[in-house]
């Protein structure tokens, strides 16, 4: 099989970081095409490959698009079977991992947005929600090294990109995630030692600066 793999993404896109980490875990060579989300106009490539959603990340494999980060990571796992398995082997464990991946997208990501956008009382309320979301995820992690148990896998890939905003959360909300969620922070440190993660995650400070500009945070 010819391995023509392109990832269309923006350096600070947490959803796209999942795709880049998964490809690196599998040892798949890919071309990265940067799409600058700071401009409103989407490139001709995005409009061609994702005419309905117009969103990134997009994985282009042999010229065909695969969309949606959860979907893409599952696709990568199915296609490049020779690399380490990303999804758990057991169907019940897979269902559990997918459920929490959706929790990250529906709860954590939307709470993050509310927290960064809001001020005053609303900001305090969403800060409390954000801490609850993180505590909930810490509970799912339990005492394991990784979400899937002993091995770094699917759910770790789903969440670790969001850790690049953790120091931004701390600065924005004047709190310490390590105090609220010590096991989760230990997991972040563990994951960041992996080459796939270290090569993919942007600098925490740059990530917060970008979000400050996006949300007009002073
Ligand atoms: N559920 C999608 C979400 C992707 C998404 O929301 N992408 C945003 C960036 S975070 C995007 O491409 N927005 C297009 C734009 O802002 O024009 C996934 O998991 O890939």
Q: List the CATH number of the domain containing 108.
A: 1.20.1050.10
Q: Is 57 in the pocket of ligand 1 (CB under 6 A)?
A: yes
Counted domains in the chain: 2
Query: For residue 55, which atom of ligand 1 is closest to its CA?
Result: 12
Residue 132 CA to ligand 1 centre (angstroms): 24
Residue-wise pLDDT for 86-130, tens only, equals 999 999 999 999 999 999 999 999 999 999 999 999 999 999 999
Confidence of residue 2 (pLDDT cuts 50, 70, 90): very low
pLDDT, averaged across the chain = 96
Domain that holds residue 183: 91-215
Residue 84: inside a domain, yes or no? no
Q: Is residue 191 part of a domain?
A: yes
CB 79 within 8 A of CB 28: no
Residues 107 and 204 in one domain: yes
162 C-beta neighbours (distance < 10 Å), count: 21
The yes-or-no verdict on residue 1 having pLDDT over 70 is no
Confirm whether 86 is domain-assigned: no
In a domain, 146, yes or no: yes
- Look at residue 3 in the predicted model and tell me its pLDDT: 65
Kindly tell me if the per-residue pLDDT of 148 is higher than 90.
Answer: no
Q: What is the pLDDT of residue 218?
A: 86
The pLDDT tens digits of the residues spanning 6-16 come to 999 999 999 99
Atom number, ligand 1, closest to the C-alpha of residue 56: 12
Confidence band, pLDDT 50/70/90 cuts, at residue 196: very high
User: Rounded to whole angstroms, what are the CA distances from 113 to 119, 153, 176, 183, 217?
Assistant: 12, 26, 19, 24, 12
Tally Cβ neighbours within 10 Å of residue 15: 21
- Tell me the CATH number at 54: 3.40.30.10
CB 118 within 8 A of CB 105: no
Gyration radius of the chain over CA positions:
17
Query: Strand 5-9 vs strand 31-34: parallel, antiparallel, or unpaired?
Result: parallel
From the alpha carbon of 67, which atom of ligand 1 is closest?
A: 20
Structural domain includes residue 71: yes
* Residue 123 domain flag: yes
Among 55, 104, 211, residue to substitute to test ligand 1 (most atoms within 8 Å of Cβ): 55
Say which DSSP state 160 is in. G
CA dihedral 106, 109, 114, 120 (to 10 degrees): 120
**208 and 169, same domain (yes or no):** yes
pLDDT of 67-93, one tens digit each?
999 999 999 999 999 889 999 999 999
Question: Collapsing DSSP states into helix, strand and coil, what is residue 92?
Answer: helix
Last residue of a domain, one of 79, 99, 130: 79
Pocket of ligand 1 contains residue 161 by CB under 6 Å: no
Contact 111 CB / ligand 1 (< 6 Å): no
Identify whether 13 is part of a domain.
yes
User: What's the whole-model pTM score?
Assistant: 0.97
Q: Residues 204, 120: one domain?
A: yes
């Amino acid at each position: 099989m010819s391995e023509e793999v392109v990832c269309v993404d923006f350096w600070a896109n947490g959803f796209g970081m999942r795709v880049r980490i998964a490809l690196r875990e599998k040892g798949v060579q890919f071309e990265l095409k940067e799409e600058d989300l700071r401009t409103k106009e989407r490139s001709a490539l995005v409009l061609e490959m994702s005419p309905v959603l117009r969103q990134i990340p997009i994985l282009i494999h042999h010229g065909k698009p695969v969309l949606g980060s959860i979907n893409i990571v599952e696709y990568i796992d199915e296609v490049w079977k020779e690399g380490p398995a990303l999804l758990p082997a057991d169907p019940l464990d897979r269902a559990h991992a997918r459920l929490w991946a959706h929790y990250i997208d529906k709860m954590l990501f939307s709470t993050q947005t509310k927290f960064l956008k809001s001020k005053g009382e609303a900001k305090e309320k969403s800060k409390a929600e954000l801490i609850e979301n993180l505590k909930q995820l810490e509970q799912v992690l339990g005492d394991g090294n990784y979400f899937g148990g002993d091995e770094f896998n699917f759910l770790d890939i789903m969440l670790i990109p969001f850790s690049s905003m953790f120091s931004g959360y701390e600065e924005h909300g004047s709190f310490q995630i390590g105090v609220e969620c010590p096991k989760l922070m230990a997991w972040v440190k563990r994951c960041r030692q992996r080459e796939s993660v270290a090569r993919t995650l942007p600098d925490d400070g740059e990530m917060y600066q970008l979000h400050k500009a996006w949300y007009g945070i002073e």
